[in-house]
Chains A and B, each alone.
Chain A
Amino acid sequence: MDVTHPQRELVDLPLPRVGPLQRLAPEPARYVLNWGRRYSLWVFNFGLACCAIEFIATSMARHDFIRLGVIPFAPGPRQADLMVVSGTVTDKMAPAVQRLYEQMPDPKYVISFGSCANSGGPYWDSYCVTKGVDQIIPVDVYVPGCPPRPEALLQGIVKLQNKIAGESLAERYSSPEVERRSLVSRLTRPLLGPPPAST
C-alpha cells in the first residue's frame, strides 16, 4: 500500500494572553469582569486516578457544581478556564499535564484535588510519582483528602471563586512567582512531528 503523507509543518501558535485592557481595567469594570469570570468557570478535568471519580460525582446531579457556575466537560483545554488535577501525577504524565495547562487561555486557574496531586500523597517514596502537581504548574487551591469528598471540591471551588472575586489580573500576571513557575520545567519532549516518509 503506497500512502504518501503530505508534508505537514509545525505551526508555532502564540499562547493566548490577557489583553492590556483587562490589565488596565479600573476598579468597577474589574469587579464586573471578575463577577462574570467567577460564575462561568469551564472546567477541564485532568482525571488521573480515583480522585477523578469524586470529581465526576461532584459534577453529577446530587452535588451538581453547575449551580455554582462551574461547567464540566469542556471539549478541551483550549476552551477551559479551570483545570482540576485529580489524581496521581507521574513523571511520565507530567509533561502532558504541563502541555495541556499551557494550552489553556489566560486567565486560567488550577485546583489540585487530592493528596497525590497536592504532594505525591502516599507515593512519596515512589520512583515515578511527581511530588505534587505544583512542581510543574502554579496551583490556586489545594483540596486535601484521599480522596476528598465531593463537598470538599465544592468548598475548594467556592474558595477559588472568592479568590477570583478579589483579584487583579495585572497583579496576577506580573508576579515573578508565576513567571518562575512557568519557566521551571519546560517540555523536554519535542512536539509530535510529521510521520516519517514511507519507504
Chain B
Amino acid sequence: MTWLDEIASSYDGVPDPGFGPPTVDVAAEGWVEAIAGARDGLGCAFFDFLTAVDELDQGFSVVVHVARHRVGTTESVLLRTRVARDNPTLDTVRHLYAGASWHERETHEMFGIDFIGHDAPATLLLPDGFVGNPLRKDFVLASRVAKPWPGAKEPGESEAGAAPSRRRTRPPGVPDPDEWGPRAGESGAAEA
C-alpha cells in the first residue's frame, strides 16, 4: 500500500499529488479531526509547519505539513483548508501538536486569523504596538512613500545618474508614491 493509497483511504477524495507532498483539502469544520487522523491514523508524529496563504477574494488557505518517519523513508502530507476573509477563524490544533502553538501565533499576527481555543495569542515576531497583518496582500508597504529607496533600483541607474529608460518596477505591495500617501498627485509623470 503506497503512501498515496494510505492517504486516500483515510480522507474523502483523491489527494492531489502536486509537485510536493500529497495535498488533501479538508473542510474548516473538520480541521481538527483531519489533523488528528493524520497523527493517529497515518502515524505522522512530526509536525513541520502551519501557515496560511492569502487567496484574496477566496479567503485564506491554512496549510499544515506533517510527516511520518520510518527507518529509511520519510513521508509527509499537506492538509489544507479554507477560511472566509471577513471572518477568519479556525480551531486550534495545539493540543495535537504542541509545536503548532508558535505557528498559530505567527499566523494570527501575520494574517489576522483567529485560532479558537488558543489561549496565548500575544505577538510573537512583530514588534510591540505593530498595527496590521503584514502578510496579507492588502497590507501597504509604505516605506517608499515616505522616502525613496537610497539605492539604485535598475541596472545601470547609478552610472547614468538620470532616469532609467525602462519603466521603473515596484515590488508587490509597494504603492506608487504619486497615487498613495501624502505626496499623491504632486508630480505628474514621476513614475512614467
A-side residues, CB < 8 A to B, are 90-92, 94, 115, 119-122, 124-128, 131, 188-189
Minimum CB–CB distance for B144 against chain A, Å: 6
Q: Which of B128, B134, B151 contacts A127 (CB 8 A)?
A: B134
Whether B173 pairs with A92 at a CB distance below 8 angstroms is no
Q: With the chains together, A165 CA to B132 CA distance in Å?
A: 48
Query: Is B174's CB within 8 Å of the partner chain A?
Result: yes
Query: Which chain B residues border A122 with CB–CB below 8 Å?
Result: 151
Query: Which chain A residues border B174 with CB–CB below 8 Å?
Result: 125
Q: With the chains together, A60 CA to B104 CA distance in Å?
A: 41
Whether B127 pairs with A91 at a CB distance below 8 angstroms is yes
Minimum CB–CB distance for B24 against chain A, Å: 32
15 contacts between A and B (CB under 8 A): A91-B130, A92-B126, A115-B151, A119-B151, A120-B143, A121-B151, A124-B144, A124-B151, A125-B144, A125-B173, A126-B141, A127-B132, A131-B143, A131-B147, A189-B128
Whether B150 pairs with A119 at a CB distance below 8 angstroms is yes
Residue on B with the closest CB to A132? B150
Whether B141 pairs with A127 at a CB distance below 8 angstroms is yes
Residue of A90, A119, A125 with most chain B CB atoms under a 10 A cut-off: A125
Q: With the chains together, A122 CA to B174 CA distance in Å?
A: 14
Residue on A with the closest CB to B133? A127
Q: Which of B125, B128, B149, B171 contacts A188 (CB 8 A)?
A: B128
Q: With the chains together, A196 CA to B128 CA distance in Å?
A: 21
Q: With the chains together, A125 CA to B144 CA distance in Å?
A: 6
Q: Which of B112-167 contact A (CB under 8 A)?
A: 125-130, 132, 134, 139, 141, 143-144, 147, 149-151
Query: Which chain B residues border A94 with CB–CB below 8 Å?
Result: 127
Q: With the chains together, A119 CA to B149 CA distance in Å?
A: 9
Minimum CB–CB distance for A94 against chain B, Å: 8
Q: Which of B125, B134, B149, B173 contacts A124 (CB 8 A)?
A: B149
Minimum CB–CB distance for A149 against chain B, Å: 19
Q: With the chains together, A120 CA to B151 CA distance in Å?
A: 10
Q: Which of B53-99 contact A (CB under 8 A)?
A: none
Kindly list 17 other residue pairs between chains A and B, CB separation below 8 angstroms, not including A124-B144, A127-B130.
A91-B127, A91-B130, A120-B143, A121-B151, A122-B151, A125-B141, A125-B144, A125-B171, A125-B174, A127-B132, A127-B134, A127-B141, A128-B125, A128-B127, A128-B134, A188-B128, A189-B128
Minimum CB–CB distance for B106 against chain A, Å: 13
Whether B127 pairs with A125 at a CB distance below 8 angstroms is no
Nearest 4 interchain pairs by C-beta: A127-B134, A124-B149, A91-B127, A125-B141
Minimum CB–CB distance for B177 against chain A, Å: 12
Query: Which chain A residues border B127 with CB–CB below 8 Å?
Result: 90-92, 94, 128
Q: With the chains together, A128 CA to B173 CA distance in Å?
A: 14
Minimum CB–CB distance for A88 against chain B, Å: 14
